[in-house]
Structure 1
Amino acid sequence: MSVRDRVWNAIDPGRLRRTFLELLDIYSPSGKEEDIQLYLEEILVRAGFRVERQEVEEDRYNLRVTMGEGEPRLYLVGHVDTVPAWDLEEFGPREERELIFGLGSADMKGGCVAMLEAWLALSEALEPSERPNVGLLFVVGEEENGDGSETFLASQSAPWVVIGEPTGLSACFAHYGYLEAGFVTHGVKSHSSMPELGHNAVESMLRVLLFLGNDALFNRELTEIVYSIRELHSSRHGFVVPDRCESWIDLHLPPDRDPQELIAQIGEILQAAQRRIAGLRVTHDFGFASAGYNLGTDNEVADRLRQIYRDLGLPLRLDAFRSHSDGNLFHAAGVKPVILGPGALETAHTADEQVLFAEVLAAARIYAALCLG
């Protein structure tokens, strides 16, 4: 029996499902990841590994484990934090046939548990001398500012990482960039029964957003830029014309698009808006900008994946990851990140988040085989 087949035979679907459900039952929003890290650390220590805690801040830390005798050539990377729960009574798991629902099931506890199972199978099936030079990294803070991955990158690196974000098992060697844009319109307060005496900042903001949305830069039929208004709120004083309105927009950019170029273009659009919209006073800020990347598919990892998917009887889809992830941080640090995991972005961050267990199991096999490669 080949080494790979020995490892695949050691992957335990029952253990994988139990661990997955237990992970989903641990509430771990960004900033409150310690409980889930303690759970994962216990499993790894029980399996005989020395687990390194990388402190990010008090009571927040990454978990890093390695095997083999040399420096890791590849890390499996998963983030353990989730967005906050829509309903604290219903964040945990539930099963409907082969679908598993729950906060973080797709983003990305499904990827994390598949990586953990692959790691356990490698350690159980192989003698220490047979084990590849690979690493396993569970990071905190991805859903906020990526501080867990930044902590890792401050002292470690690797040629390649595989990040288990939800891609439906597509292999993403390209990654969209991301730009967070904030706008504030300013008005003049007046009693709500006399709006003519004031200047309504909400009305100004609506005009600004329409002006932006009508520009060819954000025309969904003409551009690959993904444009989504995330927040819109104003002052909450009763019975007055609001004098301030704030909006935040998420912009996901194709891999070859420079965020700084887009920042300049948005500035030009806002200048045009000020000439066209009477009494407009608007300020803007870009809270976060990250360039995308494209690694291409003529490389050793892509070749390995082609063989693995053939052997598993799965179609290999190559795609660009459309959301933001820590992959951008790894690439900026000189690491080659591949985004590949179970689940789909469509349900991530929603109350209907879900993943097919069959995808989680397949991901465990793919990760294990990549480590052997």
Structure 2
Amino acid sequence: MSKRLEQVWAAIDPERLRRTLLEMIDIYSPSGKEEDIQLYLEEILAATGIPVQRQEVEEERFNLVARMGPEPPLLYLVGHVDTVAAWDIEDYAAKEKWGVVRGLGSADMKGGCAAMVETWLALASLPEAERPSVGLLLVVGEEENGDGSARFLEQECPAWVVIGEPTSLLPAFSHFGYMEIALTTQGRRIHSSLPELGHNAIESMLRVLLQIERATLFDSTEEPKLIYSIREMSSSRAGFVVPDRCEAMIDLHLSPDTDPARVRQELEKILVKTRRAIKGLQLEVSFDFESGGYQLDRNNPLSVTLEEVFPRLNLPLEFVPFRSHSDGNLFFQAGSKPLILGPGSLETAHTAEEQTSLAEVEAAARVYAALALGEGFQ
């Protein structure tokens, strides 16, 4: 282990890191309302004396961008500070017990952000001449449309980014693609006691979804190419009547080597057959979002650093694909090479059981420090 890395690891303060994480979780920051948490983090980062830039995304919404070292950074640590909306606005704050921290965003991804901020503070403790050329980017809007990262990429596209999404500290150089599909069925409203005289939009939607689910496109295997999820379904509500409208949203997560355009074409064929098969069906379909996945060559300088540092931290090194959507897709499309790596797990993210461990968050800070100091970039 290099002397510089020893110095930086010694400068990582577990109690300061714990406090940062708990205070970040206690600041409610759903997408669109990130100003308070950015002001909090700006104050912490500015105390190092290293300039912190506000990058405006829209009024009262801004990214934080900081850079250190003698050269333009080839590597950025990237975290999103926004969360999904609280499942219970009275009960979203941090709770700590036996080294486990629960609360909204604890895994996705305030744990990763807190670790990156602690890494930055530890790197800043080095003499200026010994600091690596590295950047820190804290973005808004990832949980909605990625507008924070998109704004950054308008001005800069670093060679590498490390994104602290929850992976249980298993590195992901490959990433699933993602599609969103909106479906609407129309029916005929009639009194609920006379359903045979109406047309039930919910029944039509259920038949459509069943046709899609049964398609060979979604045949399950040990390593599925497509992961199909009905995310939302709602209908018109107007008293004791047969509903005349139903809306559903489908998520598709695509393995890294699956082309979204091909999937869309196959789904369009399925829907043509579905319209013919279901009597009286009135169906509207829109493909609202699609983004391809990627798979990076693991023969790279970040991988070399991980192979060196994980045994030192007694961490299992297993390379996995990242199965959710993230800003990693945006960075890859722009020309960056993303590594997804962070504390916490997707299993609890976006749920009332969201959690991460302080041990994982501290280990993440040490891994981020090693990546920032990696010989491949300095």
TM tier, smaller: over 0.9
Q: Please tell me whether the aligned partners of residues 101 and 358 of structure 2 are also in contact (alpha carbons under 8 angstroms).
A: yes
Aligned-partner residue type, residue 259 of structure 1 = P
Do residues 321 (structure 1) and 318 (structure 2) align? no
State how 1:232-243 maps to structure 2 within 5 Å. Answer: 232-243=233-244
Do residues 163 (structure 1) and 163 (structure 2) align? yes
Distance 1:221 1:305 in 2: 30
Distance 1:216 1:350 in 2: 31
Q: Please tell me whether the aligned partners of residues 175 and 294 of structure 2 are also in contact (alpha carbons under 8 angstroms).
A: yes
Query: Who is 1:147 aligned against?
Result: 147
Do residues 34 (structure 1) and 35 (structure 2) align? yes
- 209-218 or 329-338, which moves further after superposition? 209-218
Aligned-partner residue type, residue 117 of structure 1 = E
Do residues 197 (structure 1) and 197 (structure 2) align? yes
**Secondary structure of 1:366's partner?**
helix
Distance 1:260 1:292 in 2: 12
Give the C-alpha shift of residue 186 in structure 1. Answer: 1.4
Give the C-alpha shift of residue 216 in structure 1. Answer: 2.0
Query: Who is 1:293 aligned against?
Result: 294
Aligned-partner residue type, residue 131 of structure 1 = R
Query: Who is 1:110 aligned against?
Result: 111
Give the C-alpha shift of residue 295 in structure 1. Answer: 0.6
Query: Who is 2:175 aligned against?
Result: 175
Distance 2:78 2:211 in 1: 41
State how 1:1-373 maps to structure 2 within 5 Å. Answer: 2-124=3-125, 126-221=126-221, 223-373=224-374
Give the C-alpha shift of residue 350 in structure 1. Answer: 0.1
1:255-276 Cα deviation digits (max 9, x unpaired)? 0111111111111111111222
C-alpha RMSD over aligned residues = 1.0
**TM superposition outliers: structure 1 runs of 4+ over 4 Å:** none
Give the C-alpha shift of residue 66 in structure 1. Answer: 0.3
Give the C-alpha shift of residue 346 in structure 1. Answer: 0.1
Give the C-alpha shift of residue 50 in structure 1. Answer: 1.0
Aligned-partner residue type, residue 52 of structure 2 = V
Q: Please tell me whether the aligned partners of residues 177 and 254 of structure 2 are also in contact (alpha carbons under 8 angstroms).
A: yes
Q: Please tell me whether the aligned partners of residues 84 and 143 of structure 2 are also in contact (alpha carbons under 8 angstroms).
A: yes
Aligned-partner residue type, residue 219 of structure 1 = D
Distance 2:193 2:116 in 1: 61
Aligned-partner residue type, residue 155 of structure 1 = Q
Give the C-alpha shift of residue 354 in structure 1. Answer: 0.3
Distance 2:21 2:301 in 1: 31
**Secondary structure of 2:320's partner?**
strand
- 271-280 or 3-12, which moves further after superposition? 271-280
Aligned-partner residue type, residue 42 of structure 2 = E
Aligned-partner residue type, residue 301 of structure 2 = E
Q: Please tell me whether the aligned partners of residues 225 and 258 of structure 2 are also in contact (alpha carbons under 8 angstroms).
A: no
- 185-194 or 104-113, which moves further after superposition? 185-194
Aligned-partner residue type, residue 264 of structure 2 = I
Give the C-alpha shift of residue 224 in structure 1. Answer: 2.7
Tell me the TM-score normalized by structure 2: 0.97
1:182-229 Cα deviation digits (max 9, x unpaired)? 111111222222212211111000111111111121233473311110
Distance 1:355 1:95 in 2: 10
**Secondary structure of 1:171's partner?**
coil
Distance 1:342 1:313 in 2: 15
Give the C-alpha shift of residue 106 in structure 1. Answer: 0.2
- 159-168 or 89-98, which moves further after superposition? 89-98
Q: Which runs of 5+ in 1 are unaligned?
A: none
**Secondary structure of 1:49's partner?**
coil
Q: Please tell me whether the aligned partners of residues 76 and 162 of structure 2 are also in contact (alpha carbons under 8 angstroms).
A: yes
Give the C-alpha shift of residue 77 in structure 1. Answer: 0.2
Q: Which runs of 5+ in 2 are unaligned?
A: none
Distance 1:321 1:314 in 2: 18
Tell me the TM-score normalized by structure 1: 0.98
Distance 1:49 1:104 in 2: 27
- 186-195 or 360-369, which moves further after superposition? 186-195
Distance 1:52 1:220 in 2: 47
Aligned-partner residue type, residue 143 of structure 1 = E
Aligned-partner residue type, residue 334 of structure 2 = A
Distance 1:220 1:203 in 2: 26
1:39-79 Cα deviation digits (max 9, x unpaired)? 00000111212110000000000000000011001000000
Distance 1:214 1:157 in 2: 42
Distance 1:244 1:219 in 2: 30
State how many pairs are aligned: 372
